[in-house]
Structure 1
Amino acid sequence: MRVVIIGGSGHIGTYLVPRLVADGHEVVNVSRGQREPYHPHGAWRKVRQVQMDRAELEQRGQFGERIRELRPDVVIDLICFTLESARQLAEALRGQVQHFLHCGTIWVHGPSVRVPATEDMPRRPFGEYGIQKAKIEAYLLEEARRGRLPATVLHPGHIVGPGWAPLNPAGHFNPEVFARLARGDEVALPNLGMETVHHVHADDVAQAFQQAIRHWSTSVGESFHVVSPAAVTLRGYAEAVAGWFGREANLRYLPWEEWKQTVSSEEAQATWDHIAHSPNCSIDKARRLIAYNPRYESLDAVREAVDWLVAHGVIRIQAG
C-alpha cells in the first residue's frame, strides 16, 4: 500500500519507516523541512520526501486536500496536536483511505484511579496537550464508529531511544541528573520519589503502528496504549541508573514546594507535569488485539539512550 507519514523523520519515524519499507509498502514522508532521521538506514533511499508547511496550509484550509492529493491508502499522523487540525485532515480523507492512524499520548488519562490504567477508563485529562489529545481521540473514534473514517489511535508513553535525552529520574529532561547518579553525587527527588513514569522505546512505538496496520480488522475504531510492560517509580529509576555505573544512589527527598526551588522553572514545570500524571498503563489490549510485543522494558530502553549520551559526551561521568 501507499503509506503517507506526516512527520516521519522524528523519533517514531526513524524506526517506523524502515519497518514499513520492509513490509513492502510504498512510503511517502511529509515534513516541513529536510531533517535527517536519528539513525541512517538504507530504507530511506526508497522513501519519497514531500515538503509541506502544515501550519501554513491549515490556515488556508488546504492541508487535508494536499494529503489527499498524494493518493494514500494509509495515513499515519504523528504530529497533530489540536482537534481543529485533526478534523480538517479527517474530513478531507473520508472515503479516500483504507486506514488512518493518529499518534496520541497516555496523558489523555490525567490522574489514574486504578493502575495499571486501561483504555476504557473515563478520561480526566488536564493541561492543554492532554485535553486536546483526548478530544482528538474521541472525535476520531466516533468517525470510525459512524463508518466515516477507519481510524486507530495509538497512545505512546515517554518516548526514548539513542539520539536524544530521555525523561530522567527527577521527572525532567536535564541529562545532568544521569551524570550526577553516575558519579555518586547527591540527587534530590520530589516528595518520596514514589510517583511513576512510563517510558517506551521509539522502535516499540513503531512496532505498534506496524502491527495496527497488519491487524486492520481489530485495530480500526480502537485506541491502544503503547508503552513498556511496566512503569517505574522515580526512586527505583534513580537507583537503577546509579547501579549501571557501579554506584549506590545518593538520594535526598524534599517536599514539592522545597524541591522546585532547586531547579529551573522549566525543569520544575516538566517534573510537575510528569508526577501529577504519574502514568502507569496496561498494554493488555494492544497485546490481545494487534499482537503488540514490546522488545524493551522501561529501564532497558533508557539505558540504551543513556549509553548513547555518554558515548557522545552529553553525559560526562567525570566531574568537571
Structure 2
Amino acid sequence: MARIIVIGAMGHVGTYLVPRLVEAGHDVVAISRGRAQPYSLHHAWGGVEHQIMDRTAMEADGSFGPAIRALNGDIVIDMICFTLPSAQHLVESLLGNVGHFLHTGTIWTHGFSTVVPTLEETPKYPFGDYGVQKAAIETYLLDRARRDNFPATLIHPGHIVGPGWAPLNPAGHFNPAVFSTIARGETLALPNFGLETVHHVHADDVAQLFMRAIANWSASVGESFHAVSSGALTLRGYAEHMFRWFGHEPDLSFQPYDTWAAAQPSEDAKATWEHVARSPNCSIAKAQRLLGYAPRYTSLQGIEEAVTWLIADGQVAPPAK
C-alpha cells in the first residue's frame, strides 16, 4: 500500500476520504493548519499521522513544498490550493518525487454553462477570481503532466453537501433560514423563474472518486473529472421537493433577480448571483467510463441528509407531522 499525504485533510471531503484511505490499508499523513476536527469522527482517524503546517506562511518563505516532499509520500492529495503560484510552488518541489498528485478543482472552472450536461473538455471561459485561478491551475497541471510526465489528476467537485454544514439552498445561497421558511410552509421567493441549475455532490462521493482515481492510475493521470451527483437541480424543482419533504405543498413566488435581490441580505444575494450566473450542470460520463464512478447519493438525497443534520443541530425547524 502507499504512503499518502493529504493536504487540508480536515475539510468536507477529507472527513470521508481519510477513513477510506486508512481502511484501504494506506499509510496516511493528514496535513492541517490547526487542530480542527473532521466533521464526523471515524475510528480510522486513530491510525493517521497528523502534521500541522501553516501553508500561507510556509509558502511565503519557500518551505512548504520542501516540507511536503520531505514526508516521502507516494501520493499527494491537495485539497486546498487556490492560486497558480501556490500550485507551482508545490509541483516544483514534488517533480520527480511523487508517484501520483491529485488536485481538488471546482466545476466553476467552466464559467457560464452553454451546452449541458457540460463535459470536462468543453472550452472554459471562467469568471471571478476563484474560477479563473482554478482554471489556471488546471491548465498548468495538465501541461506539466503532458510535457514533464508529472502524474497529476484533477477532481472537480460541485456544491459539496453532507452532515455538519449548511448546503447550498433552493434560493442559491447558504443561509439555513430558507429551509426554516419552507419548514413553516411560508411563501419562498425565488429569483427569475427558478429554472437556473445547481449541481450538488455528497462529500463521500467526492472521496469515492479520489479513491477510484488512485486505484486507476493509468486512466486518471493527465485527466480531469467532474465529481457531481447524477443530475443537477433547478432551483424551482429543488424548492418544490423540500416543501413536500417538510410536509407542505409548494408555495413559491418569482421575481426578477434585481427585485428579488433588493429584499435579501447583500451576502445572500451576491452568493445567489454567483450560482445562478453559472447554473452548472456537469456530466459524469467520463468518470463513469474511465474510473467506474457511481455516486451513492442523488443531489436530493445528499441535501436531505444535510438538512436532517441542520434540524438536529437546532438551525432549522423539523418537518410537519
Q: Report the TM range for the smaller structure's normalisation.
A: over 0.9
Where does residue 225 of structure 1 map in the other structure?
Answer: 226
| 1:280-295 alignment runs, 5 A limit | 280-295=281-296
| 1:164-313 alignment runs, 5 A limit | 164-313=165-314
CA distance in 2, matches of 1:314, 1:264: 18
Contact in 1 for aligned 2:246/2:319 (Cα 8 Å): no
Where does residue 97 of structure 2 map in the other structure?
Answer: 96
Cα drift, residue 147 of structure 1: 3.0
CA distance in 2, matches of 1:170, 1:267: 9
Unpaired runs of at least 5, structure 1: none
CA distance in 2, matches of 1:177, 1:248: 16
Where does residue 82 of structure 2 map in the other structure?
Answer: 81
**2:66 corresponds to which letter in structure 1?**
E
Contact in 2 for aligned 1:188/1:259 (Cα 8 Å): yes
**1:268 corresponds to which letter in structure 2?**
A
CA distance in 2, matches of 1:284, 1:118: 8
Where does residue 22 of structure 1 map in the other structure?
Answer: 23
CA distance in 2, matches of 1:318, 1:143: 51
Contact in 1 for aligned 2:246/2:318 (Cα 8 Å): no
Instruction: Give the SS at the match of 2:51.
Output: strand
Cα drift, residue 316 of structure 1: 2.2
Cα drift, residue 22 of structure 1: 1.0
CA distance in 1, matches of 2:114, 2:104: 24
Cα drift, residue 317 of structure 1: 4.4
What's the CA shift string for 1:275-313, capped at 9, x where partnerless?
Answer: 000000000000111111100000000000001111111
Cα drift, residue 179 of structure 1: 1.0
**2:133 corresponds to which letter in structure 1?**
Q
Q: What is the Cα-based RMSD across aligned positions, in Å?
A: 1.0
Where does residue 147 of structure 2 map in the other structure?
Answer: 146
Where does residue 48 of structure 1 map in the other structure?
Answer: 49
How many residue pairs end up in the alignment? 319
CA distance in 2, matches of 1:292, 1:121: 20
Q: Which is worse superposed, 245-254 or 77-86?
A: 245-254
CA 1:318–1:216 in structure 2 vs 1: closer, same or farther (change >3 Å)? closer
CA distance in 2, matches of 1:282, 1:308: 28
What's the CA shift string for 1:240-288, capped at 9, x where partnerless?
Answer: 0011111112111000110001111110110000000000000000011
Where does residue 10 of structure 1 map in the other structure?
Answer: 11
Contact in 2 for aligned 1:286/1:292 (Cα 8 Å): yes
Cα drift, residue 197 of structure 1: 0.1
CA distance in 2, matches of 1:91, 1:262: 49
Instruction: Give the SS at the match of 1:146.
Output: helix
What's the CA shift string for 1:190-231, capped at 9, x where partnerless?
Answer: 000000000000000000001100000000000000000000
Contact in 2 for aligned 1:183/1:317 (Cα 8 Å): no
Where does residue 69 of structure 2 map in the other structure?
Answer: 68
Contact in 2 for aligned 1:180/1:317 (Cα 8 Å): no
Cα drift, residue 318 of structure 1: 8.7
